[in-house]
A = this chain, B = another copy of it.
Amino acid sequence: MAREARSPFAILGMLTLGPMTGYELRQRIEQTIGHFWQESFGQLYPALARLEAGGLVSLREDTQGERARNVYSITKKGRAELRAWLEKSPLRHVERNELLLKLFFANEVEPLAPIAHVEESRADAVQRLNTVRELGATLERDLGALPAFDYYWASLRYGELGLEAHVRWCDEVLARLEKKRTREDA
């Protein structure tokens, strides 16, 4: 029951980039796919243990640096399972949107509240849009020649187009709500 676990596949995917510790996994996930995928230690370490038990990753305990480090690598079996998963169609599921939920029932409160929510959301989106655009420039410069570049580009372009649309939506909604507010104040 429940949804199929996807954290293990995110881990296997990251391990195709090279062997890593759990700690490094968390960092690299944050740096690369962090805009649309996050993992916490509470997920990572137990998931790694299960993957190792299933033979999808192998563990090398690294003691040469004096400090204990558990370095994980993807195995042949792990790579095969990852590929099979990558080829399966992703199932769409409805993302809960708390901002929209608060807006939908906003007639219960003064218009100033939803207006503030949308303004905050807009500011946040503008800021993230800048980050995404900067990241896009760096990525093209540094990794533009890699075969995987098109796929990396796709995820950034998703963020860019999505955030642009979000900002436009905020502007349209704010215009309407301001109009509504002056209308009702009169």
Given A6-B101, A97-B36, A99-B90, also A157-B180 (CB < 8 A): no
Given A94-B35, A172-B157, also A86-B100 (CB < 8 A): no
Contact with B along A56-93 (1 / 0, CB 8 A): 00000000000000000000000100110111011110
In the bound complex, do residue A104 and residue B169 qualify as a contact, i.e. CB atoms below 8 Å apart? no
Contact with B along A97-109 (1 / 0, CB 8 A): 1111111111111
- Complexed CA–CA distance, A16 and B109 (Å): 12
Nearest-CB distance from A41 to chain B (Å)? 14
- Complexed CA–CA distance, A79 and B109 (Å): 10
Contact residues on A (Cβ < 8 Å of other chain), bracket: 35 or more
Nearest-CB distance from A143 to chain B (Å)? 12
| Identical chains in the assembly | 2
**Can you give 27 A-B contacts (C-beta < 8 A)?**
A6-B98, A10-B101, A33-B100, A33-B104, A35-B94, A36-B101, A38-B94, A79-B108, A85-B102, A86-B102, A86-B113, A87-B109, A90-B99, A103-B151, A103-B155, A106-B148, A107-B147, A107-B148, A150-B177, A154-B169, A154-B176, A157-B169, A158-B169, A161-B165, A161-B166, A161-B168, A162-B162
